[in-house]
A and B are shown apart, each in its own frame.
Chain A
């Protein structure tokens, strides 16, 4: 029982079984039990995931690669169902299943009595299954398959209220926008197949690229194509537009998408492919820049939103931007440190973002579906548990010192700051460091704006609930089945950071054992390029393990930014929304409220032309249809004319035959006679 492979497969298969069980239950009369399979399976998976962490920790420095079966093989292309279990995958698995467990528990209360209860849990289970498969996959094509599975499940869940036009449109948007990225991903996989010596297994590709260094331009293209997939899935600029709209789905779905199963896929993909980023300075800098732009842009967009869930959605986009920013430093600094920073932020973010969404869901539950912060306020008396847990999540997200968000953000900042010291794009990274600090300030501000607007000021509850029959004016705290997950995740949001990293360095030690991030891999990969960029493989900064001292300057700067943001929010919003803002602020807020007109630009540049093209295609199709109908009308017309011959009288038929015979014989005789 100490084989990590068996554990990993059990973690993978349990949610699938749960999906099937929930689907079967949803067709039966006991649909109200449909949450049991998912809760049981994710609980078991979470336990196994924790155990798997210990097992992986026991064998440092090498990954378990299991080749389960051949999917298909033709010519040079052979695709195996192979899985890899290394610290990176183990951390993701444990995190995904743990967060999914509490979201599932919360949903069983939140979705209680819903019409599609069984469907909801079946797709949620499938979602978790797809994500686990994505995490474990050691083959690019298998990874793409699970990647699409994640996309499908997000489509199904965002469009869960499919009879609501906005939800259907949001689901379509999510699917189509991520599809743009997926196209890039598939192209990137094909290019890597070529560059990696016609291998499709990740480890084989990395090995081959390390020993046979390919053309830099091609490798950079491949990296950027992979990143394109990550941009779509992880909602980075310019493809972030689907994520805020995805709030149309039920709130636990948002929590799952944002915390565990969907948007983290892109970060994880790049973390997996860190060996490639390491040897592509241009590609990794672009990753960092994209991350930086996204982080600050999304934080700006979140400033003036009025929909609580939308604020959280933009904050996710922004935090994902920070993760990509950290990943973009892999190679400029030790990849182990860069990936650790990104993954640690992802890890803590999963806790506090799931918590924030579930708390928002609890608010919605109490107020009968109302989520517009202009319509309610001062809820801290009515919803004490929700209030406290939301505060924990918000503080962690804002980066209040000693909370988990603080430590992980600090790690990200430190990675960027170190990358600014030397290397090809040092100045650029320094600039990005400034961007990250600005993002920290904005994040603290908008998070606490949402918090103060929702829970402080005079108590206001909406008179008219959006869902009839729900407790609108009689808002009350949610039942324990919803508050317990909030409390558990709140504990996580508060303490997971301080336990895992700053003093013990557990997390960075653990992730540092991932073979693909090991220093000697990096040294091999860098050796051919080292001279070109004026660095050497022996550079101590590059080969250093993930150990790092605590950087007081960085921490101090980020703390100052966070506290400034919180203080500003407190000054402005502690009594509710102010009546009017000063003119320049109002301009900024209106820009933010209108989402910087990015969506309008997309509408004009992409959606409208596509609509016109579709209209033209439909018109041409109509023309072709008309043409074929015209051709089909000719025989019908002739038939109209010839049909009376078939009058059903035997004698008439016989007479026609006789006359025909006469004509034939006459013809023959005259021919013969001539």
Chain B
């Protein structure tokens, strides 16, 4: 028999994993996914309690949460693209220049992985135009 406690345990696990991931990873996309995971953990809580109480209020909340999360994802990913174009990196600590004036920058004690090469730059094709076929089939397959 799956009780409320089971649901809550799963939700808490999801939330915890998400939190730890958010606090430890510096890649913007990973951080975003972790945040989404925390959100889903909360959503499971809502659903579980809705079923436990036998009403639909929690369900309604979750529908809203999903809708908002979808919007968030769209906005966040667009922002990441822009940030990447500017900083050539998805490392969140690249943007630490937003700190208070006069505070010394945080410096990595270990070296970071090598910076991505220029040809790895993401180029989105313009909307409404068929993308040109890759010149090299093998390279296309590798990508």
User: Could you tell me which A residues sit within 8 Å of B by CB distance?
Assistant: 643-651, 654-655, 658
The CA of A649 and the CA of B97, in the complex, are separated in Å by: 9
Closest to A647 in B: B99
Closest to A639 in B: B100
- The reply to whether A644 and B100 form a contact with Cβ atoms under 8 Å apart is yes
The CA of A648 and the CA of B97, in the complex, are separated in Å by: 6
- The reply to whether B23 and A646 form a contact with Cβ atoms under 8 Å apart is no
The CA of A193 and the CA of B102, in the complex, are separated in Å by: 67
- The reply to whether A644 and B103 form a contact with Cβ atoms under 8 Å apart is yes
Q: List 11 A-B contacts (CB under 8 A).
A: A643-B100, A644-B100, A644-B103, A645-B100, A646-B100, A648-B95, A648-B96, A649-B96, A650-B31, A651-B26, A658-B23
The CA of A643 and the CA of B106, in the complex, are separated in Å by: 14
Q: Which of B33-49 contact A (CB under 8 A)?
A: none
The CA of A643 and the CA of B101, in the complex, are separated in Å by: 8
Given A646-B100, A648-B99, A649-B106; A658-B19 close (CB under 8 Å):
yes
- The reply to whether B96 and A647 form a contact with Cβ atoms under 8 Å apart is yes
Q: Which one of A650, A655, A658 has the greatest number of beta carbons of chain B within 10 Å? A: A650
- The reply to whether A654 and B103 form a contact with Cβ atoms under 8 Å apart is no
CB distance from B31 to the nearest CB of A (A): 7
- The reply to whether B31 and A646 form a contact with Cβ atoms under 8 Å apart is no
Closest to B35 in A: A654
Closest 3 A/B residue pairs (Cβ):
A648-B99, A648-B96, A646-B100
The CA of A374 and the CA of B26, in the complex, are separated in Å by: 92
Task: A643-B100, A648-B105 given; name 8 further pairs at CB < 8 Å.
Answer: A644-B100, A646-B99, A646-B100, A647-B100, A648-B103, A649-B92, A649-B96, A651-B24
The CA of A643 and the CA of B92, in the complex, are separated in Å by: 20
Interface residues of B: mostly helix, strand, loop or mixed? helix
Closest to A644 in B: B103
Given A655-B23, A658-B19, A658-B23; A650-B103 close (CB under 8 Å):
no
Contacts of B26 in A (CB 8 A): 651
The CA of A651 and the CA of B26, in the complex, are separated in Å by: 8
Contacts of B19 in A (CB 8 A): 658
Contact with A along B40-71 (1 / 0, CB 8 A): 00000000000000000000000000000000
- The reply to whether B106 and A654 form a contact with Cβ atoms under 8 Å apart is no
Q: Which of B22, B24, B93, B102 contacts A649 (CB 8 A)?
A: B93
Contacts of A644 in B (CB 8 A): 100, 103
The CA of A643 and the CA of B102, in the complex, are separated in Å by: 9
Contacts of A654 in B (CB 8 A): 22-23
The CA of A643 and the CA of B99, in the complex, are separated in Å by: 9
Q: Which of B71-95 contact A (CB under 8 A)?
A: 92-93, 95
- The reply to whether B22 and A646 form a contact with Cβ atoms under 8 Å apart is no
The verdict on B129 contacting chain A, using a C-beta distance below 8 Å, is: no
The CA of A645 and the CA of B22, in the complex, are separated in Å by: 19
The CA of A654 and the CA of B99, in the complex, are separated in Å by: 15
Q: Which one of B31, B92, B100 has the greatest number of beta carbons of chain A within 10 Å? A: B100
The CA of A658 and the CA of B20, in the complex, are separated in Å by: 10
Closest to A643 in B: B100
The CA of A541 and the CA of B26, in the complex, are separated in Å by: 111
Closest to B34 in A: A654
The CA of A647 and the CA of B93, in the complex, are separated in Å by: 10
The CA of A650 and the CA of B99, in the complex, are separated in Å by: 10
Contacts of B118 in A (CB 8 A): none
The verdict on B98 contacting chain A, using a C-beta distance below 8 Å, is: yes
Closest to A645 in B: B100
The CA of A655 and the CA of B21, in the complex, are separated in Å by: 11
The CA of A487 and the CA of B23, in the complex, are separated in Å by: 99
The CA of A658 and the CA of B16, in the complex, are separated in Å by: 11
Closest to B97 in A: A648
The CA of A646 and the CA of B95, in the complex, are separated in Å by: 13
- The reply to whether B92 and A647 form a contact with Cβ atoms under 8 Å apart is no
The CA of A645 and the CA of B19, in the complex, are separated in Å by: 20
- The reply to whether A650 and B102 form a contact with Cβ atoms under 8 Å apart is no
The CA of A644 and the CA of B24, in the complex, are separated in Å by: 21
The CA of A643 and the CA of B104, in the complex, are separated in Å by: 11
Contacts of B100 in A (CB 8 A): 643-648
The CA of A644 and the CA of B101, in the complex, are separated in Å by: 9
CB distance from A260 to the nearest CB of B (A): 65
Contacts of B95 in A (CB 8 A): 648, 650
Contacts of B92 in A (CB 8 A): 649-651
- The reply to whether B23 and A648 form a contact with Cβ atoms under 8 Å apart is no
Contacts of A651 in B (CB 8 A): 22-24, 26, 92
The CA of A654 and the CA of B98, in the complex, are separated in Å by: 15
Contacts of B31 in A (CB 8 A): 650
The CA of A655 and the CA of B106, in the complex, are separated in Å by: 15
Contacts of B96 in A (CB 8 A): 647-649
Closest to A661 in B: B19
Contacts of A647 in B (CB 8 A): 96, 99-100, 103, 105-106
CB distance from B90 to the nearest CB of A (A): 12
The CA of A650 and the CA of B90, in the complex, are separated in Å by: 13
The CA of A646 and the CA of B102, in the complex, are separated in Å by: 10
- The reply to whether A643 and B23 form a contact with Cβ atoms under 8 Å apart is no
Q: Which of B9-35 contact A (CB under 8 A)?
A: 19, 22-24, 26, 31
Q: Which of B95-137 contact A (CB under 8 A)?
A: 95-100, 102-103, 105-106
The CA of A648 and the CA of B98, in the complex, are separated in Å by: 5
- The reply to whether A646 and B103 form a contact with Cβ atoms under 8 Å apart is yes
Contacts of B93 in A (CB 8 A): 649
Closest to B100 in A: A646
The CA of A164 and the CA of B95, in the complex, are separated in Å by: 59
CB distance from A133 to the nearest CB of B (A): 59
Contacts of A645 in B (CB 8 A): 100
The CA of A514 and the CA of B40, in the complex, are separated in Å by: 101
The CA of A178 and the CA of B24, in the complex, are separated in Å by: 80
The CA of A644 and the CA of B31, in the complex, are separated in Å by: 24
The CA of A651 and the CA of B31, in the complex, are separated in Å by: 9
The CA of A650 and the CA of B22, in the complex, are separated in Å by: 9
The CA of A654 and the CA of B21, in the complex, are separated in Å by: 11
CB distance from A335 to the nearest CB of B (A): 79
Contacts of A658 in B (CB 8 A): 19, 23
The CA of A644 and the CA of B96, in the complex, are separated in Å by: 12
CB distance from B73 to the nearest CB of A (A): 17
Contacts of B97 in A (CB 8 A): 648
Q: Which one of B31, B99, B105 has the greatest number of beta carbons of chain A within 10 Å? A: B99
Closest to B98 in A: A648
The CA of A633 and the CA of B93, in the complex, are separated in Å by: 33
Closest to A651 in B: B23
The CA of A645 and the CA of B100, in the complex, are separated in Å by: 8
The CA of A648 and the CA of B99, in the complex, are separated in Å by: 4
CB distance from B14 to the nearest CB of A (A): 15
Contacts of B23 in A (CB 8 A): 651, 654-655, 658
CB distance from A659 to the nearest CB of B (A): 10
Closest to A655 in B: B23
Closest to B93 in A: A649
